[in-house]
Chain A
Amino acid sequence: MIVKILLFINLILCGLSFAQDKLEDSASQKKLTVVAVGEAGVLKEGLLIELQDIKQTSLLAPVRDVIASDFAFYKKKFDTRTGNISGSSLANLESLKNKNLNYYLNLDLIKQNDVNRVSYKLISTATEQVLLQGVEDLKKSSMRNTGHVIANAVFQNITGKKSIFLTNIVFVSDMGSTSKKTVKELYVMDFDGHNAKRLTQHHGIVISPSLSSDNKKIVYSLISNTNIRNRNVDLFLYDMNTGTSKLISSQKGLNSGAVFWHEDKEILLTLSHVGNAEIFSMNLETKELRRITNNYAPDVDASTTPDGKLMTFLSGRPGRAEIYLMDPSGMEKDVRRISYVGDFNATPRFSPDGKEIVFSSWMDNAFDLFRISSEGRGLARLTKNFGSNEDPSYSNDGQFIVFTSQRVISRSKAVWNLYTIDRDGEFIGQLTQNYGNCTSPRWSN
């Protein structure tokens, strides 16, 4: 009996091994070959912006131009045209389609209760469907805002993503300084450089501002000009709603480089009262401090991912300034270095998706912008031969980077202005001009 069982098992085993071979053979004979075609080219969306009536030009052209200049930021995605390509007719959508214009935006002037308003209509030339329509106020004072609102609505409808058109940029300018006294105050402007206005009046030197995630609060540091003997770097919190500032930290030494964290309930900041610049977290309610870095070398410039789980900072641990990552929920938790080159790296800032870090690095007698993935791969240079480029900040959608760049005008004079590039280093435009030396730009969320 045992013999029979054994023999049977043997037979099964042999049979199985043969069967396996056969299966594999038949599979391999009918092999299909996959040929990779590669990444697709980019098809730009063609958008025609047109006024309903040529007589409305004086009133509506400014709005149209704002929309066009907004879309010009996304020049890699959109081919925006204005004017009378279609001869101002909605009936001629077929001809627009042939000109690679997939979208048609019509602006019309209407009167509601004797008030001029602008009505807009977005039409897909392929389906001839009205994708979007609405009415906006048309006031001289808020003309640009009207344009941004319409542009944002159109952009969101076409791409399904948020645009930068309603964002602001907070920055520091030394406008109003005299040769004896340098004054740097906090300013805010539209993302395209218009509508700049001053926020603070400390008559001191404002440095390193940072916006909260709801854009309602700004935390910044101030070097006071009033107390010359004992100049400390103190930390202030500005409230956008009330327009007031209040002191939140004045430890001895540095109280700077603060960023919001944990749904704006806490901040991460650099303090040097322990004898050496270290990163701490501070609860804005209780002012309770918790130490995050602990090293004999200075650790500064914290920046976090939106979820707050990862923090990048600058550390002098290797003997020169290099970029590190860590988990800010503990002290010295999961610290790892991600940059290994560069004579002096500065201001690492996370992209909104937390996948990239942009920073400036000293190279060829100037700072230039570089980008690296948060795993420390794919180091890429973004700027070159463009003055000294510093203090980068990502836009809310991660597609653009605003930074400050110094142009040397003469032996004794150089000027700082704000510029925008896209995330691949393509130049977009200059934002400030004749507005003093503009530095420390921060893009709102």
Chain B
Amino acid sequence: MEYIYQHGPKSSIDKYLKVSFSIHFAILVLIFLLAQIKHIVSDETEKFNLQLIESSVRVDMVSMPKFTLKELKTISMDEVGNGQEEAIQDHATKQETTAIPDNEPVFEKEKKTKSFQEIMQELKAKDHKLEKANIKKPVAERETHKQLLNDRLKGKLRGLVLAGNKLSQGTSVQGDASDIAKGAYYDYLLKLPDWVRPHWSLPSFLREQQLKCRVRIFLASSGEIIKAVLFESSGNTEYDERALAAVKHASPFPAPAPEFSRKVSEGEIILGFPL
């Protein structure tokens, strides 16, 4: 109060208010920022802990695999052939079902793993709800979708990847199954790999190099390809050309529904060869 009297009441009150306001505002902003940082940090540690649990659980098989690699390849091929329609219609259930006959004792352990993964999935789903508050939704969606595609791939390769006796990183379970049924656009996207794959083959020496390229496709509403451009080159011209050729041979693609035909024609779809 002495301060005010010494320097004249009006201007000093103004000044006092200004100082007070800005200091308080600064403190508020600081608190807000700190809370944000803390939240991000705690989120990170939570994620890290989850990863740690996932990777520290080793799945041991009770016995050596009964099936040879060759036999498993044929099993998985048959399964893929039969289960394709289902897979497209209902991915949520597809995640739950195993691609391996139920009456095989060897794969019992695999089932147990599944149940563990389910637990992890539930845990992650809780975590996911928290994430949703912070992380931008489209990003989360994209992650889920990527994961879904990976799952499909995994389904196909399941026969090849033998369970057991491995230090498994575990599948990174992102999002829950309900997110998957995101509607027609996702269904449409999931059809595309099957459309392209019959035309996608490489001479063995090129295949062994494990190259990767991406092709951006622009589709007309009829499903005809308007253009296909190289989005990410593999560095090998022949590989890129073969990927582009596969896309061109695969045309016409299934016709996109009107509600997302604009997205499709504007080239929002990128095909990954192989991922």
Residues of B173-200 at the interface with A, using a CB-CB cut-off of 8 Å, are 189-190, 192-193, 196-197, 200
Choice from B33, B166, B267, B270 contacting A377 with Cβ under 8 Å: B166
Select the stretch in B19-27, B41-49, B84-92 that faces chain A: B19-27
CB <8 Å contact, B138 and A28: yes
With A341-B61, A377-B165, A381-B67 already in contact, 17 other A-B pairs whose C-beta atoms are closer than 8 Å: A3-B22, A6-B23, A14-B29, A32-B216, A33-B145, A37-B273, A40-B207, A41-B200, A42-B201, A42-B203, A159-B204, A341-B60, A341-B64, A361-B64, A379-B165, A380-B72, A384-B67
Q: Chain B 66-83, CB within 8 Å of chain A: the 1/0 string?
A: 111111100000000000
Residues of A1-29 at the interface with B, using a CB-CB cut-off of 8 Å, are 2-3, 6-7, 9-10, 13-14, 24-25, 28-29
Q: B residues bordering A, Cβ < 8 Å?
A: 15, 18-19, 22-23, 25-26, 29, 33, 60-72, 136, 138-139, 142, 145-146, 149-150, 153, 156, 161-162, 164-168, 189-190, 192-193, 196-197, 200-205, 207, 214, 216, 242, 246, 267-275
CB <8 Å contact, A378 and B166: yes
Question: Which residues on the B side are within 8 Å of A6 (C-beta)?
Answer: 22-23, 26
CB <8 Å contact, B167 and A376: yes
CB-nearest residue of chain A to B63: A341
Residues of A401-443 at the interface with B, using a CB-CB cut-off of 8 Å, are 424-426
Residues of A316-345 at the interface with B, using a CB-CB cut-off of 8 Å, are 339-342
Question: Which residues on the B side are within 8 Å of A425 (C-beta)?
Answer: 68-70
User: Can you list 27 A-B pairs with a CB-CB distance of less than 8 A?
Assistant: A6-B22, A10-B25, A14-B29, A32-B267, A32-B269, A33-B269, A34-B146, A35-B192, A35-B269, A37-B197, A37-B272, A40-B242, A43-B201, A45-B204, A76-B204, A77-B204, A159-B204, A339-B165, A341-B61, A372-B165, A378-B161, A380-B65, A380-B68, A380-B69, A381-B66, A381-B68, A381-B162
Residues of A186-203 at the interface with B, using a CB-CB cut-off of 8 Å, are none
CB <8 Å contact, B60 and A36: no
Question: Which residues on the B side are within 8 Å of A37 (C-beta)?
Answer: 192-193, 196-197, 200, 246, 271-274
CB-nearest residue of chain A to B188: A35
Q: Does A161 contact B (CB under 8 A)?
A: yes
Choice from A43, A363, A375, A424 contacting B64 with Cβ under 8 Å: A363
CB <8 Å contact, B153 and A38: yes
Docked pose: A361 CA to B168 CA in angstroms: 22
Q: A residues bordering B, Cβ < 8 Å?
A: 2-3, 6-7, 9-10, 13-14, 24-25, 28-29, 31-45, 76-77, 158-161, 339-342, 361, 363, 370-372, 375-384, 424-426
CB <8 Å contact, B165 and A384: no
Question: Which residues on the A side are within 8 Å of B62 (C-beta)?
Answer: 341
Question: Which residues on the A side are within 8 Å of B162 (C-beta)?
Answer: 378-381
Distance in Å: Cβ of A321 to nearest Cβ of chain B: 13
Docked pose: A40 CA to B198 CA in angstroms: 9
CB <8 Å contact, A36 and B204: no
Question: Which residues on the B side are within 8 Å of A25 (C-beta)?
Answer: 136
Choice from A38, A42, A342 contacting B204 with Cβ under 8 Å: A42
